[in-house]
Amino acid sequence: MEYFNWEGIAALVLGGLYGCIFGAIPGLTATLAVALFIPIAFFLDPIIALPAIIAISSVAIYAGDVGSSIARIPGTPASAAYLEELFSLSRTKGPLYGLGISAMGSAVGGIIGTVLLIFGATAIASLAKQFSSFEYFWVAVLGLTAGVFASGGSSLKALASLLIGILFSTVGIDPTLGFPRFHFDNPNLLGGLNYIVAMIGLFGFAEVIEHLYVGRKKVEAENQPQGSAIREFYIVPLVFLLKEKWIVLRSSLTGVVVGLLPGAGADIGSWVASSVQKMNARVNDKKTEDKAVLAGTSSNNAAVASAWIPALSLGLPGDTITAIVLGVFLMKGITPGPLLFDEQPSLLWSLYITFILANILLLPVFGFLTARIAATLIKVPFSILLTAISAICIVGAYAINNSLFDVWVMAGMGVVAFVMRRGGFPLAQVVLGMVLGPILEQNFMVSAIKSRWDMMSFFERPVALLLMVLTLVIVAVGVRVKGRLG
Amino acid sequence: MLSIEKSYIAQMITRMNFQYTLILCLSVMLVTSCGGIQQKKVSYPSKPITYLVPWAAGGMTDMSSRMMAVTLQKYLGQTVNVVNRTGGGGVVGHLALSQARPDGYTLGAVTVEITQLHHMGLTDLNYENYTPLALIINNPAAITVNIDAPWNTIDELVEAIKSDPGNLQASGTARGGIWDIARVGFLDAAGLSSSDVPWVPSQGAAPALQELIAGGVDIVTASLSEVDALRKAGQVKTLAVMADERLSRFPDVPTLKEQGIDWSIGGWVSVCAPAGLPDDVRMKLDSAVYEASMDEDFIQNLTQAGSSLQYLGGAELSEFMKAEDASKGVLMKEAGLTN
């Protein structure tokens, strides 16, 4: 193997640790971790730079779950979809078990995604080629519809939360016509409200306000099992995963399909997969939470791998990370596209092997280490943990754009979340609305302009029609399930 | 062996006293922030420099600016920290640089948008709010179509537009963005009206190219470096580049000027300081930026990443920005792109 050596392995391990830290801290995203690595990547061989990037992105997406499990703050938007479930699981059954499921699902999902990347890259990529703005519009509609029924409580309240999120997403310069909206002559608002900043406020800072308001009420971890760490982290989740292998397979495939659409990526993949799971939930199933976490966590890692499919085979980046990877490729004189598969097979195989290794190493090295730290932190008295959470919220919100204004936005979102929670409105849907709102708006406008405002054109293309039918199916099933649950 | 080491590390972290760590972190932060107060009068640069980038990490502006920052570090002997101030279609970052103290410790990337944003009425900022130091890269726009499109030359494309005005559509970036203006200028120079090829807005070159391949639009006017991967993959063909002469990396792509259409335009990135930079600091920076621009590693890395390098010193850059600003103002008004 020309492209495989110990330096690559070392890069993989170090990259994974680095990704671990970035993923776990809210506000420091996987994209930022990779972007900060670029100046170093310039001077490195591709056989060292690429494994490091793969490890950073794969591990960061898993590590996003660590914040959810300790403090109900998702480290990355891809973790927000199953936040409540993972947090409650970590409180009742222990963080080792919660993160064990998360790591196990991530590893298996990532490997399934990689296998599809190996065997189907060119074939799957031709599917992605068919996607124009009409199809993206329907993907956004599908994601939003899934979000309405994904909440445990009232669908109507979930819809209201979603609309609040979409309203937030309209702040700033209109993405298609360039008209400034809701900016109140403040240049900071021209860029819109960043959904990661909002996420930190909605989940992190809201937690602080909540505890200040409730006072000294003890939120101790409940009777956690005292079994050995190995048993809690590996064996119990593994048994569970083997039992629910169809959930893992289905969610990973969902993740792959959503992840390979340029611009959709891991965030939306995990939403769709965990919503499907939550809608299938039966009454009196004690493992509902476990299953939702498993579905979400395997789909987002599968999506990380499948985002490479259009990048490698078409030269079109599936998400921001692969966009950076394409830059590194070009810099090193490697041109992505169909020719790559004939000209550079050894490079491709080293990429595939790195993906699989990164996902396997997730279990014993990165996953176990973070879960052990999480298990310790969860026992720290909450009053001390809250101080640290406030600090991380402020630093994290500032770090996104290096803007003090964003810190205020974050704090404001905390207040919004505090009020909404009092009324029983789910918060994750607000984030979903902020993520999908711009995609929906933009693709609607582009499609309309393209077809000269002929609304029938939204139903004329076969893939678009299929996505619309899927949306209707979700509405029908969702209404029925919700009706049955009362 | 591995498992012994692992559990040792885990135990070590477990035992670390949480409060102690927190106090340590806070005191380190305090000590470092005090450093700024005691500034002695020493020659520039005596402390780290901040380099503001108005666009997100990962893009062409970010990549070239980070390379410039790393290289400048070598010639100035001080750390140069890149800070992304994104948002508002570039307004936020450009505003932050213009408002910084002109002492040479805040530099930044000023991009082609500074000659467009104020025409659109999004800000009052213009090129006069900065002290220009040097132009780094200038990527010319190009005219790219689907590989299956019936036109193989610019003449054939122009004929097709003339025979059925308003039928073909172009894309590449947001409305009023640099590639939109490239379209307007091209149509103007070819004797056509801007409504003959309507603009379909997109969030950058990649989604526009996706539309081009999927058959949603007919023409993309993004730069050659952005379409290069798809060109090599045999998905698209580039009919012309909007440069004064052919690019050395793409000798097979003719220029518009060769084909009798007098128009060239590019997306550029420069390095600037806030307006009112003292002369001594300016001279020092001028020469450091010049040396960095001529640095072999710098040139090689950026060229390989697909950028077209173009160095212009401070005075030339100032003239260049002024000319760009004026010509775009006229074009954008004609095309109705001003709000």
State the smallest CA–CA distance between residue B260 and chain A in angstroms.
30
The residue to which tokens 């920005």 are assigned: B321
Q: Are residues B174 and B249 in the same domain?
A: yes
User: Which residue from B57, B63, B175 is facing A177, i.e. has the nearest CB?
Assistant: B175
Q: Are residues B148 and B206 in the same domain?
A: yes
Mutate to test the interface with B, among A372, A406, A454 (most CBs of B within 10 A): A372
> Tens digit of pLDDT for each residue in A29-50?
777 788 778 667 767 777 788 8
Q: State yes or no: pLDDT of B8 exceeds 60.
A: no
Tokens at B143, concatenated: 């005219």
Tokens at A130, concatenated: 């068919």
pLDDT class for B39, splitting at 50, 70, 90?
very low
Query: So what's the pLDDT on residue A373?
Result: 82
Q: State yes or no: pLDDT of B287 exceeds 90.
A: yes
Residues of B in contact with A42 (CB under 8 A): 67, 70, 301
pLDDT class for A107, splitting at 50, 70, 90?
very high
What's phi and psi for B261, nearest 5 deg?
A: -110, 110
Query: So what's the pLDDT on residue A259?
Result: 80
> Tens digit of pLDDT for each residue in A158-171?
899 999 999 999 99
d(CA A78, CA A74): 8
Q: State yes or no: pLDDT of A199 exceeds 50.
A: yes
Q: State yes or no: pLDDT of A219 exceeds 70.
A: no
Q: What count of CB pairs under 8 Å joins A to B?
A: 180
Q: Are residues B130 and B147 in the same domain?
A: no
> Tens digit of pLDDT for each residue in A261-302?
766 667 777 877 887 787 776 666 778 888 889 998 999 889
Share of chain B above pLDDT 70, in %: 87
Tokens at A448, concatenated: 């309309």
Tally of structural domains, chain B: 2
Q: Which long-range contacts (CB under 8 A, 24 or more apart) does A171-177 make?
A: A172/B87, A172/B88, A173/B88, A173/B89, A173/B122, A175/A438, A175/A441, A175/A442, A175/A445, A175/B174, A175/B201, A175/B203, A176/A441, A176/A442, A176/A445, A176/A446, A176/A449, A176/B174, A176/B175, A176/B201, A177/A445, A177/B175, A177/B201
Name the more confident of A124 and A355. Answer: A355
Listed range (A125-129, A410-414, B257-261) with the worst mean pLDDT? A125-129
d(CA A447, CA A450): 5
> Tens digit of pLDDT for each residue in B101-135?
999 999 999 999 999 999 988 888 999 999 999 99
B126 — contact with chain A (CB < 8 Å)? no
B189 — contact with chain A (CB < 8 Å)? no
On whether the CB atoms of residues A9 and A55 are closer than 8 A, the answer is no
Which one-letter amino acid corresponds to residue A34?
A: V
Query: So what's the pLDDT on residue B9?
Result: 43
CB atoms A172 and B211 under 8 Å: no
pLDDT class for A215, splitting at 50, 70, 90?
low
CB atoms B85 and A376 under 8 Å: no
d(CA A207, CA A216): 14
Query: So what's the pLDDT on residue A146?
Result: 80
Q: State yes or no: pLDDT of A97 exceeds 70.
A: yes
Q: State yes or no: pLDDT of A70 exceeds 60.
A: yes
Share of chain A above pLDDT 70, in %: 90
Tokens at A393, concatenated: 């919220």
Residues of A in contact with B209 (CB under 8 A): 316
CB atoms B13 and A376 under 8 Å: yes
pLDDT class for B34, splitting at 50, 70, 90?
very low
> Tens digit of pLDDT for each residue in B64-80?
898 899 999 999 999 89
Torsion (CA) A28, B177, A127, A343 in degrees, nearest 10: -80
Q: Are residues B134 and B270 in the same domain?
A: yes
Query: So what's the pLDDT on residue B339?
Result: 66
Name the more confident of B320 and B205. Answer: B320
Query: So what's the pLDDT on residue B73?
Result: 92
* Top mean-pLDDT range of A17-21, A129-133, B41-45: A17-21
* Top mean-pLDDT range of A17-31, B87-101, B130-144: B130-144
State the smallest CA–CA distance between residue A290 and chain B in angstroms.
26
Query: So what's the pLDDT on residue A144?
Result: 86
Beta-carbon count within 10 A of A477 CB:
14
d(CA A461, CA B216): 11
d(CA A218, CA A98): 21
On whether the CB atoms of residues A458 and A134 are closer than 8 A, the answer is yes
Residues of A in contact with B86 (CB under 8 A): 191, 401
CB atoms B211 and A332 under 8 Å: no
What's phi and psi for A263, nearest 5 deg?
A: 95, -15
Residues of B in contact with A401 (CB under 8 A): 84-87, 92
Query: So what's the pLDDT on residue A341?
Result: 76
Name the more confident of A373 and B28. Answer: A373
Query: So what's the pLDDT on residue A167?
Result: 96
d(CA B223, CA B225): 6
Query: So what's the pLDDT on residue A484?
Result: 63
Q: Are residues B129 and B232 in the same domain?
A: no
Residue B207 lies in a domain: yes
Tokens at A469, concatenated: 């039918």
Tokens at A74, concatenated: 């998702």
pLDDT class for B266, splitting at 50, 70, 90?
very high
CB atoms B233 and A337 under 8 Å: yes
Query: So what's the pLDDT on residue B12?
Result: 42
Residue B211 lies in a domain: yes
Residue B42 lies in a domain: no
Domain of B168 in residue numbering reads as 142-259
Query: So what's the pLDDT on residue B6?
Result: 42
State the smallest CA–CA distance between residue A461 and chain B in angstroms.
11
Mean pLDDT of all residues belonging to chain B: 86
The residue to which tokens 């003090």 are assigned: A404
Mutate to test the interface with B, among A131, A173, A233 (most CBs of B within 10 A): A173
Mean pLDDT of all residues belonging to chain A: 82
User: Which residue from A36, A38, A129 is facing B214, i.e. has the nearest CB?
Assistant: A129
Can you give the CATH number for the domain in which B131 is found?
A: 3.40.190.150
> Tens digit of pLDDT for each residue in A369-378?
888 888 887 7
Q: Which of A27, A44, A58, A43 is nearest to A322 (CA)?
A: A58
Residue B43 lies in a domain: no
Q: Are residues B162 and B118 in the same domain?
A: no
Share of chain A above pLDDT 90, in %: 12
**Pairing of the two strands B219-220 and B80-84:** unpaired
Residues across chain A: 486
pLDDT class for B14, splitting at 50, 70, 90?
very low
Name the more confident of B31 and A395. Answer: A395
Listed range (A107-116, A331-340, A448-457) with the worst mean pLDDT? A331-340
Mean pLDDT across A230-255: 86
Q: Are residues B185 and B217 in the same domain?
A: yes
Between CA A184 and CA A191, with CA A186 as vertex, the angle to 5 degrees is 100
CB atoms B120 and A327 under 8 Å: no
Q: Are residues B254 and B147 in the same domain?
A: yes
Query: So what's the pLDDT on residue A264?
Result: 63
ipTM of the complex: 0.71
Listed range (A112-116, A186-190, B136-140) with the worst mean pLDDT? A186-190
d(CA A135, CA A443): 9
Q: Are residues B308 and B247 in the same domain?
A: no
Q: What is the 3-state secondary structure (H, E, C) of chain A?
A: CCCCCHHHHHHHHHHHHHHHHHHHCCCCCHHHHHHHHHHHHHHCCHHHHHHHHHHHHHHHHHHHHHHHHHHCCCCCHHHHHHHHHHHHHHHHHCHHHHHHHHHHHHHHHHHHHHHHHHHHHHHHHHHHHCCCHHHHHHHHHHHHHHHHHHCCCCHHHHHHHHHHHHHHHCCEECCCCCCEECCCCCHHHHCCCCHHHHHHHHHHHHHHHHHHHHCCCCCCCCCCCCCCHHHHHHHHHHHHHHHCHHHHHHHHHHHHHHHCCCCCHHHHHHHHHHHHHHHHCCCCCCCHHHHHHHHHHHHHHHHHHHCHHHHHHHCCCCCHHHHHHHHHHHHCCCCCCHHHHHHCHHHHHHHHHHHHHHHHHHHHHHHHHHHHHHHHHCCCCHHHHHHHHHHHHHHHHHHHHCCHHHHHHHHHHHHHHHHHHHCCCCCHHHHHHHHHHHHHHHHHHHHHHHCCCCHHHHHCCHHHHHHHHHHHHHHHHHHHHHHHHC
Give bridge partners of residue B143 from the DSSP assignment.
Answer: B240
Share of chain B above pLDDT 90, in %: 60
The residue to which tokens 């992505």 are assigned: A336
Listed range (A60-74, A290-304, B17-31) with the worst mean pLDDT? B17-31
Query: So what's the pLDDT on residue B105?
Result: 94
Residues of B in contact with A133 (CB under 8 A): 211, 216
All structural domains of chain A with their residue ranges? 6-485
> Tens digit of pLDDT for each residue in B198-248?
999 887 887 888 889 888 899 999 998 888 878 887 889 999 999 999 998
Q: State yes or no: pLDDT of B185 exceeds 90.
A: yes
Q: What is the 3-state secondary structure (H, E, C) of chain B?
A: CHHHHHHHHHHHHHHCCHHHHHHHHHHHHHHHHHCCCCCCCCCCCCCCEEEEECCCCCCHHHHHHHHHHHHHHHHHCCCEEEEECCCHHHHHHHHHHHHCCCCCCEEEEEEHHHHCCCCCCCCCCCHHHEEEEEEEEEEEEEEEEECCCCCCCHHHHHHHHHHCCCCCCEECCCCCCHHHHHHHHHHHHCCCCHHHCCEECCCCHHHHHHHHHHCCCCEECCEHHHHHHHHHCCCEEEEEECCCCCCCCCCCCCECHHHCCCCCCEEEEEEEEECCCCHHHHHHHHHHHHHHHHCHHHHHHHHHCCCCEEEEEHHHHHHHHHHHHHHHHHHHHHCCCCC
Q: State yes or no: pLDDT of A78 exceeds 70.
A: yes
Listed range (A255-264, B154-163, B169-178) with the worst mean pLDDT? A255-264
Name the more confident of B180 and B62. Answer: B180
Mutate to test the interface with A, among B203, B225, B226, B227 (most CBs of A within 10 A): B203
Q: Are residues B85 and B154 in the same domain?
A: no
On whether the CB atoms of residues A158 and A149 are closer than 8 A, the answer is yes
Q: State yes or no: pLDDT of A452 exceeds 70.
A: yes
Between residues 201 and 260 of chain B, which touch chain A (CB distance below 8 Å)? 201-203, 206-207, 209-211, 213-217, 225, 228-230, 232-235
pLDDT class for A67, splitting at 50, 70, 90?
confident
Side-chain-side CA neighbours of A58 within 13 Å: the count stands at: 41
Q: State yes or no: pLDDT of A66 exceeds 90.
A: no
User: Which residue from B63, B95, B229 is facing A315, i.e. has the nearest CB?
Assistant: B229
